[in-house]
Structure 1
């Protein structure tokens, strides 16, 4: 995220970086030129600036505007102004009239700039809020009307000014006369202890740039109006990329299209006591009562009276109004349904849905606001008040049904686990209730049995082998079950290779379903068709399935597909270098095995161990298959009038093929007695004619067959069982294979 990108951090320098080092780097000279004279106008002591260069002349500035007006700056001289920092409420009436809503340091800068020669370069040392604060636009408008902020450097105090907190952020702004500037602004941020040489080098590089980025800054090419914020994170080039990436979750809308945003007013003591007669009385909620974990934890003893939007409603989202920690997201929570009304207090923003939103949609927006991505797109700097206009423009993704369902399932699972936890603790505490400890003991043992069974069942899901055996599609799960019980001998080694081939075959067929859905050419299809046409008799191999998956990962047109495309994970499967290498290693083992280059009896145990490790890596990378139900539709009945199909199906997930039949009503017209893969939106994708299911005539078991070979003379495609080695021919399959492009015309 941006809070770490492009920020120059410590390189364990021995020398302490000072403000003088930074300013020197901001006022570079040519290689053959002598340094220009510098007038340093500073309030109070120059302590904290470090050793000043010899060509700097220090002038003291008093705590008023008039002293800076007496400053004499000759032509060809640069100015460094570090004025006294004082809030506007402490200014005299004359200064407040001349510079309305200006703090003293801002007024001093505004008074000095018109008096300077046009050959002068100016560096202002000011609180960072002047540069990026939402309520300082009128100040920037006056300061930068005739002077362009060419270089802006944010620096954390770190003890530079001993009387100011070490986390306070300063900004050093280099100004050039508007006529001499190119309207580009360079913005940088420095954190940590850095060697002066490093700072000079990096700032010099940034100053020379016309576009692009450096280690800790960037060039803002578009011109900004004088009043615009100069926030480092607000204009960072990474924000555009994050905004584009956000659309992968679904279309985006401005937050203001979904929510009204209300500022809460400051509450007096009478408000907080709830002494008013009008309005609703309830528990007061301040910004500090909203936790970073998304909870609202008010003090029940603190009550207040409120009306209108101050009375919080279930489904409102509360935000702390002050942005504190860069990169940690906003502090946001959803208002729950409570017995006593909740009244909005100080330092809060209230987001109230414009139109009714579901509980899941509100929870999604709150989670998004707490994320680093929303933090980055909002572009605030630490200590800023959240700008309501900027918040209303924040892009909010509207997730697709699959993402929304996944988030709902996660929240439901968390709630279920919490109920189980509460139940277990309640049972444990019942041991000492009542007078009969024997009865209490028996009760805890009997009632705790189901709780212990739940824990045991849940813990098995942390085991890869159990997940693969119970959640993967049947052909893969059945093969894996045999690998699990195999011993490191010749037969076990072959079981590993066969399991790997079945896995890659099934993944490639999922890729074929993706290609058909997206209406794009399936990888290597023309090559496979040409091989069948020229050789007369040929078949699909381990190498074919692997090559298809690798091409799926490398094809640019597939990379451009939305991530919501069904089975998109297959495109990413072989992008992992380790997974690709494991697939190639197993393909080589398979090729060696077929060509009698098998490991001998002494080599087999080690070959078994290595091959199993590669297989487990492949299976881990393909666990996404467990999210897509593998079904055979056993019966369909179409209601043409209502355009509804009632289906009976068996879900072939896990290592048992004997499973109950379920029914469902769908809008699709589906083929009976065919295998389908179901995507996250519940749509069925036909896998015929690559996969076929029927009772094997050899072993009489229900079997999943895959297209394996074709003989041009007989025109009979041969299908081979995925869970054993038997083969069959399927009448009518040749025409279907030609339709989908696997066989030549």
Structure 2
């Protein structure tokens, strides 16, 4: 029985001792425990090592950590199960088949299969960099070595000396107290804005991550003591990458991967720490969240200042008027933000126009109490939702060179000329997308990855099937009885809500109608004018953007993904004025009898014959004919 540090520490002396032991002994089992020694703090950890004289056959190593506060019989049972295993993991222990080098730490979490898997999964964020690739260390002032430079009182030429206790878990530096230390620091010791100060000593029983603060102007001038580790981000590293690294450092996984020497964090291991770095889509999402956080903080400060000013005006009448007038804009902001938590408001304002307009009609029918019309509107909205997403999937798949087997049935219906594709065909496309190996291999940020998840999961599958059955009954005159209609409407709307919830990704994938494209041959950029067709009305402002591409089509529909890339949706989705109702609408091909193309409107269901001679060629090129 030894202190746990003998086996778990990265200290070179502990590593040498493990190396010497391995020359004569095989370690069969390491049992980590706390609270075993009377008179010693209950958090003190010991390791019980079971050794056997070294043999030709090197056995696997079993590591077990006794949990505190758990049922004793269950722990014993789990331990006995580990003893019988030749590999794998139990709840509280695991087996190492391929032993690490003798000098490497055998800390419980260092080789835990769960931790190893989590480390490998970090690459899913985008990429991985060592912390040393992002920052350099800043020299610290040692409390013993530089004792002659340290003072208990601020004197001319001294700066504040920050210790580990000054680094707060909320990411700030504590203000100086009466016990603060001051130091006559050299230039290389002085901290700068943006420096990361990390506690060097931490409690082994602390379940949180590393304690990190980022230095601001208000914290200066200051230097750091040896009870901290200071990292200075490199000038060529984007602030977004540093922010993401700090977020990771504050996780328990980062502290586990950083290792320790006793209760100390080592600079060498910290610099070697693998740090996830965000890809473009995740980075943009983090930036948006940070901007939202700052905006909310500003609103809170505005509200606090307004409340504090109630009794500071010259007269109560002036205070009353100020509170009412200025408070109105703040209240409206909060009310508008609160509406986004309501699914209906999100769909009506942030979903693509074909779906948002159908949802608006469903809302109106339900609120008016017209149960029969509301029931039909729910089923129409469900079909338009699946139709729109399926058409987008087919368009994106075509660009990636991915073919859908479900297109064969759609192609047969289109050329047959009697009835076009419907609910079942859209479901077939989306079911295929959910299980496609080709789609699974696309980058995580590709919009098809979101589409794959629409019908994944049993709840979505069941909801889709019930809606399909109801739609099929409706089409074959098996109408719901008037008495059963209220319950049927409620059930159908609940299923539609399930699918709409799963389709929230559409709010981040705007439908754009390109109205004009101007290419600049010298700048190699195009000025694109477009309408963002998001929300329940097609009359929206025309905007402009600059893109480094000259292959955009005037008049066509595009999907813009989270990385701001544009994906052509023609000929699967076509935008134009409807000859029937004269409203701008979105269409998909409905039938092509004898080469004549009929288009169907997603918003109103109107069907018309398209006279354009180029559409059949485009449909054939897309595999629909």
Answer whether TM exceeds 0.5 for this pair. yes
Q: Does 1:606 align with 2:478?
A: no
Q: Is the contact between residue 150 and residue 186 of structure 1 (CA under 8 Å) also seen in structure 2?
A: yes
Please state whether the residue corresponding to 2:385 is helix, strand or coil.
helix
Instruction: Provide the residue aligned with 1:652 in structure 2.
Output: 533
Residues 289 and 518 from structure 1, CA distance in 2 versus in 1: closer, same or farther, beyond 3 angstroms?
A: farther
Deviation at 1:265, TM superposition (A): 4.1
Please state whether the residue corresponding to 2:217 is helix, strand or coil.
coil
Residues 210 and 425 from structure 1, CA distance in 2 versus in 1: closer, same or farther, beyond 3 angstroms?
A: same
1:657-700 superposed Cα distances (whole Å, 9 cap, x missing partner): 11111111111220010111001121110111011111111111
Q: Is the contact between residue 154 and residue 170 of structure 1 (CA under 8 Å) also seen in structure 2?
A: yes
Deviation at 1:377, TM superposition (A): 3.8
Q: Is the contact between residue 168 and residue 174 of structure 2 (CA under 8 Å) also seen in structure 1?
A: yes
Q: Does 1:365 align with 2:249?
A: no
Instruction: Provide the residue aligned with 2:443 in structure 1.
Output: 562
1:320 corresponds, among 191, 194, 199, to 199
Residues 198 and 420 from structure 1, CA distance in 2 versus in 1: closer, same or farther, beyond 3 angstroms?
A: closer
Deviation at 1:418, TM superposition (A): 0.8
Deviation at 1:274, TM superposition (A): 6.7
Please state whether the residue corresponding to 1:592 is helix, strand or coil.
helix
Q: Is the contact between residue 633 and residue 672 of structure 1 (CA under 8 Å) also seen in structure 2?
A: yes
Q: Does 1:716 align with 2:596?
A: yes
Deviation at 1:414, TM superposition (A): 0.9
1:449-484 superposed Cα distances (whole Å, 9 cap, x missing partner): 211211221121121111111111111111111111
Q: Does 1:165 align with 2:41?
A: yes
Instruction: Provide the residue aligned with 2:173 in structure 1.
Output: 296
Please state whether the residue corresponding to 1:486 is helix, strand or coil.
helix
Residues 457 and 194 from structure 1, CA distance in 2 versus in 1: closer, same or farther, beyond 3 angstroms?
A: closer
1:92-145 superposed Cα distances (whole Å, 9 cap, x missing partner): xxxxxxxxxxxxxxxxxxxxxxxxxxxxxxxxx111111111212122223332
Please state whether the residue corresponding to 1:218 is helix, strand or coil.
strand
Instruction: Provide the residue aligned with 2:100 in structure 1.
Output: 224
**Structure 2 residues not aligned, in runs of 5+:** none
Residues 195 and 722 from structure 1, CA distance in 2 versus in 1: closer, same or farther, beyond 3 angstroms?
A: closer
The 2-side partners of 1:569 and 1:309 are apart by 49
Q: Does 1:374 align with 2:267?
A: no
Q: Is the contact between residue 319 and residue 330 of structure 1 (CA under 8 Å) also seen in structure 2?
A: yes
Identify the range of structure 1 (621-630 vs 358-367) with the bigger mean alpha-carbon deviation.
Answer: 358-367
Q: How does 1:499-510 map to 2 (within 5 A)?
A: 499-510=381-392
Residues 195 and 415 from structure 1, CA distance in 2 versus in 1: closer, same or farther, beyond 3 angstroms?
A: closer
Identify the range of structure 1 (653-662 vs 451-460) with the bigger mean alpha-carbon deviation.
Answer: 451-460
Instruction: Provide the residue aligned with 2:164 in structure 1.
Output: 287
Deviation at 1:287, TM superposition (A): 1.4
The 2-side partners of 1:602 and 1:568 are apart by 42
Q: How does 1:610-625 map to 2 (within 5 A)?
A: 610-625=491-506
Q: Does 1:255 align with 2:136?
A: no
The 1-side partners of 2:290 and 2:32 are apart by 41
2:516 corresponds, among 616, 632, 635, to 635
Instruction: Provide the residue aligned with 2:507 in structure 1.
Output: 626
The 1-side partners of 2:252 and 2:513 are apart by 43
Deviation at 1:181, TM superposition (A): 5.1
Q: Is the contact between residue 248 and residue 564 of structure 1 (CA under 8 Å) also seen in structure 2?
A: no
Residues 599 and 561 from structure 1, CA distance in 2 versus in 1: closer, same or farther, beyond 3 angstroms?
A: same
Q: Does 1:512 align with 2:385?
A: no
Q: Does 1:131 align with 2:7?
A: yes
Instruction: Provide the residue aligned with 1:154 in structure 2.
Output: 32
Q: Does 1:702 align with 2:584?
A: yes
The 2-side partners of 1:704 and 1:252 are apart by 43
The 1-side partners of 2:377 and 2:113 are apart by 52
The 2-side partners of 1:194 and 1:357 are apart by 46
Identify the range of structure 1 (426-435 vs 592-601) with the bigger mean alpha-carbon deviation.
Answer: 426-435
The 1-side partners of 2:490 and 2:188 are apart by 66
The 1-side partners of 2:324 and 2:90 are apart by 65
Deviation at 1:401, TM superposition (A): 2.0
The 1-side partners of 2:363 and 2:428 are apart by 27
Residues 525 and 244 from structure 1, CA distance in 2 versus in 1: closer, same or farther, beyond 3 angstroms?
A: farther
Instruction: Provide the residue aligned with 1:73 in structure 2.
Output: none
RMSD: 2.4
Q: Is the contact between residue 352 and residue 506 of structure 2 (CA under 8 Å) also seen in structure 1?
A: yes
Please state whether the residue corresponding to 1:251 is helix, strand or coil.
strand
Deviation at 1:514, TM superposition (A): 3.5
Identify the range of structure 1 (639-648 vs 261-270) with the bigger mean alpha-carbon deviation.
Answer: 261-270
Q: How does 1:66-215 map to 2 (within 5 A)?
A: 125-135=1-11, 136-157=14-35, 160-179=36-55, 182-193=58-69, 198-215=74-91
Instruction: Provide the residue aligned with 2:230 in structure 1.
Output: 350
Q: Is the contact between residue 15 and residue 103 of structure 2 (CA under 8 Å) also seen in structure 1?
A: yes
Deviation at 1:355, TM superposition (A): 4.0
Please state whether the residue corresponding to 1:557 is helix, strand or coil.
helix
Deviation at 1:229, TM superposition (A): 1.1
Residue correspondences, number: 612
1:276-332 superposed Cα distances (whole Å, 9 cap, x missing partner): 999x63333221222222222232663333235532222222221134356522222
Residues 253 and 339 from structure 1, CA distance in 2 versus in 1: closer, same or farther, beyond 3 angstroms?
A: closer
Structure number with bigger Rg: 1
Residues 453 and 197 from structure 1, CA distance in 2 versus in 1: closer, same or farther, beyond 3 angstroms?
A: closer
1:341 corresponds, among 221, 224, 228, to 221
Please state whether the residue corresponding to 2:46 is helix, strand or coil.
strand
2:306 corresponds, among 410, 422, 427, to 427
Instruction: Provide the residue aligned with 2:286 in structure 1.
Output: 407
Residues 198 and 738 from structure 1, CA distance in 2 versus in 1: closer, same or farther, beyond 3 angstroms?
A: same
Deviation at 1:207, TM superposition (A): 2.9
Instruction: Provide the residue aligned with 1:540 in structure 2.
Output: 421
Q: Is the contact between residue 202 and residue 264 of structure 2 (CA under 8 Å) also seen in structure 1?
A: yes
1:689 corresponds, among 571, 582, 585, to 571
The 1-side partners of 2:33 and 2:57 are apart by 24
Q: Is the contact between residue 252 and residue 398 of structure 1 (CA under 8 Å) also seen in structure 2?
A: yes
TM-score by length of 2: 0.92
Deviation at 1:623, TM superposition (A): 0.8
Q: Does 1:391 align with 2:270?
A: yes
Residues 309 and 520 from structure 1, CA distance in 2 versus in 1: closer, same or farther, beyond 3 angstroms?
A: farther
Instruction: Provide the residue aligned with 1:476 in structure 2.
Output: 355
Instruction: Provide the residue aligned with 2:559 in structure 1.
Output: 677
Instruction: Provide the residue aligned with 1:582 in structure 2.
Output: 463
The 2-side partners of 1:458 and 1:389 are apart by 46
Please state whether the residue corresponding to 2:104 is helix, strand or coil.
coil
Deviation at 1:224, TM superposition (A): 2.7
TM-score by length of 1: 0.78
1:335-374 superposed Cα distances (whole Å, 9 cap, x missing partner): 2233731221342111122443233222111011112443
Residues 407 and 593 from structure 1, CA distance in 2 versus in 1: closer, same or farther, beyond 3 angstroms?
A: same
Instruction: Provide the residue aligned with 2:606 in structure 1.
Output: 726
Identify the range of structure 1 (134-143 vs 419-428) with the bigger mean alpha-carbon deviation.
Answer: 134-143
Q: Does 1:246 align with 2:152?
A: no
Residues 647 and 449 from structure 1, CA distance in 2 versus in 1: closer, same or farther, beyond 3 angstroms?
A: same
